[in-house]
Amino acid sequence: MEGMDAELYALEYMIRDRLSNDRERARVAALLADAKRSQSPNAVTTRFTNLGRRLVNGVRRVPGELFHALLGRVPHVKGDAR
């Protein structure tokens, strides 16, 4: 029984390895195809601009989310807080 389990484990490992390699090859092929389609001089600039815009919007969103999260935790005191 243990020998069969070891063989199944080895086969499963080989299959996972092949699937992983195939996924990586497909990912590289897709990236190459995308790069060939966008050969215009502005394509790279547009990609970096879009990435920068997403990063800035994400950074802008963080303080507001923190403020709202902290407001829910701070006890509200009515009247004089002395």
Q: What is the pLDDT along the chain (82 residues), one digit of tens a residue?
A: 577 788 888 889 899 999 999 999 999 988 888 776 666 666 667 778 888 888 888 888 887 777 777 776 655 556 555 4
Distance CA 29, CA 58 (A): 30
pTM of this structure: 0.40
Q: Which two tokens stand for residue 47?
A: 């990609």
What does the pLDDT read at residue 23?
92
What does the pLDDT read at residue 26?
93
How many residues appear in the chain? 82
